[in-house]
Structure 1
Amino acid sequence: MRPNVKSLELNERALKVTPGPQSNLAGAWLGEPPLFMVRGKGAHLWDVDGNEYIDYTNGLGPGILGYA
């Protein structure tokens, strides 16, 4: 997996204008910055850095990316 450089940059920008950019608590618990997703198809998601993920959490992304 490639480094999440663009997600890190977007997280820094988001922290300046929002109280907390994370849409779930998992990242807060792990100390990891959130990923910024740009596309979804079926159970697959892609972040701004081009990394592909499978949504094993069954639905933390459908509300914004429209797959259900």
Structure 2
Amino acid sequence: MPLKGKILNTWEVSSDEVLAAQEVHDISVAIGIDPDSDDLSQLRYGKICILADADSDGLHIA
């Protein structure tokens, strides 16, 4: 699933800001949860890995 832009650092922003980001919303829908609900019973995966490419745009992402 290709993403545009940079994913928010969830340690640095409020949960409202995280859930307002279109990228986070799209990931939530893709893994089978409703971003507006606390119910995770429909979660289809135990872990999600977001990888950055190795070009100059992704160098600052660790």
Which is higher, the Rg of structure 1 or of structure 2? 2
Kindly indicate whether structure 1 or structure 2 has the higher relative contact order, using CA contacts under 8 Å at least 6 residues apart: 1
By percentage of residues, which structure has more strand? 1
